Amino acid sequence: MPRLAEALSQTFKSFSPDSLADRLFGDSLEDWWQGYVQGLAESTYSNPVQSAFFITTFAAMGCMAKVDGRIQQAEINLTSSVMDHFNLHADHKRLAIRLFNEGKESDFNLDALLARFNKSCQHRVSVLHLFIEIQLKLAFADAALNSKEKTLLQRMCKRLNIPKTVYQRIERRFSSEQSYRSVPPPMLKPMGLADACEILGVTRWSSKQDIKLAYRRLMSQHHPDKLLARKSSQQELEQATVKAQEIKGAYEMICKIKKFR
């Protein structure tokens, strides 16, 4: 199978804009849909809801990647990582790429596809939310959520009857994660063994087990992921990042000096 980046750069000559429009409007949508369902038959995606999720997710990713006019390498890489996450084999990757390429066409009828997806999901809220999270992740792939991407995400939520408050909560979480990843590594001051022991709350004579337990307890208290879950402020996230790095550095120093493995 060709690399995803190469596959996305090619034009499927059998799909002209007119034929895409014909197949994705009106009653012909069902024929188009069933064609992909058959391609997913006798696989882990043979379940109707799973098939609907597969078809809609990768086609919508094509729409999202192209909405601002140009597909970025980061968006291609993210699409590839989603395929890997779902453990798609070669045939299914080819279907996903084909859906992505159809979705990026300007005449693609996304609204009709979302309506069909919503109908197939039968109010399975968790499936719809996962779909939106994947589209949000793609929108943030280039480190920014622009106005066109945000408008498309809101349009998707409207078609899937996802409340505005739910979308805003998901978007805030992704924005916080993005902000955390953009924080540069903190500059830590040099420390000696006494400093390291003080940070962990142990002594130079503490056992390996006690030191390890102290380290794990402190990391659990100060890890930035815990603050992300609590929707903490950017300042709190930065402070937690510095503290976590300090704890990690102290533990590594003690292990090195005491020759712990």
Residue ending a domain, choose from 116, 151, 182 = 182
pLDDT recorded at residue 191: 77
Give the DSSP letter of residue 105.
S
List the CATH number of the domain containing 212.
Answer: 1.10.287.110
Per-residue pLDDT of the chain (261 residues; tens, 9 = 90+): 444 444 444 433 333 434 444 444 444 888 899 889 888 887 777 788 999 999 999 999 999 999 988 898 989 999 999 998 888 888 899 999 999 999 999 889 999 999 999 999 877 888 999 999 999 999 988 777 889 999 999 999 999 999 988 888 888 777 766 655 554 555 556 778 888 898 899 998 889 899 999 999 888 887 766 655 555 566 666 677 778 888 888 898 889 888 876
Domain contains 188: no
In this structure, are 131 and 23 located in the same domain? yes
pLDDT recorded at residue 186: 52
In this structure, are 149 and 36 located in the same domain? yes
CA angle 184, 80, 84 (to 5 degrees): 100
pLDDT recorded at residue 55: 95
Domain contains 187: no
In this structure, are 15 and 134 located in the same domain? yes
Q: Is the whole model's pTM more than 0.75, yes or no? A: no
In this structure, are 178 and 202 located in the same domain? no
Domain contains 235: yes
The number of domains in the chain is 2
Domain contains 69: yes
Distances (CA, A) of 4 to 44, 76, 90, 180, 195: 22, 7, 11, 29, 50
pLDDT recorded at residue 7: 43
pLDDT recorded at residue 260: 79
Residue 139's identity, in one-letter code, is: A
In this structure, are 163 and 217 located in the same domain? no
Domain contains 232: yes
Domain contains 228: yes
Distances (CA, A) of 168 to 61, 123, 164, 193: 20, 20, 6, 46
Residue ending a domain, choose from 159, 182, 205 = 182
pLDDT recorded at residue 56: 95
In this structure, are 47 and 153 located in the same domain? yes
In this structure, are 100 and 49 located in the same domain? yes
In this structure, are 16 and 104 located in the same domain? yes
- CA 104, CA 70: separation in Å to the nearest integer? 10
Write out pLDDT tens, residues 9-41.
Answer: 443 333 343 444 444 444 488 889 988 988 888
pLDDT recorded at residue 61: 96
In this structure, are 105 and 207 located in the same domain? no
Range(s) of the domain holding residue 198: 193-257
In this structure, are 71 and 157 located in the same domain? yes
Distances (CA, A) of 192 to 129, 154, 205, 257: 48, 53, 15, 10
In this structure, are 43 and 152 located in the same domain? yes
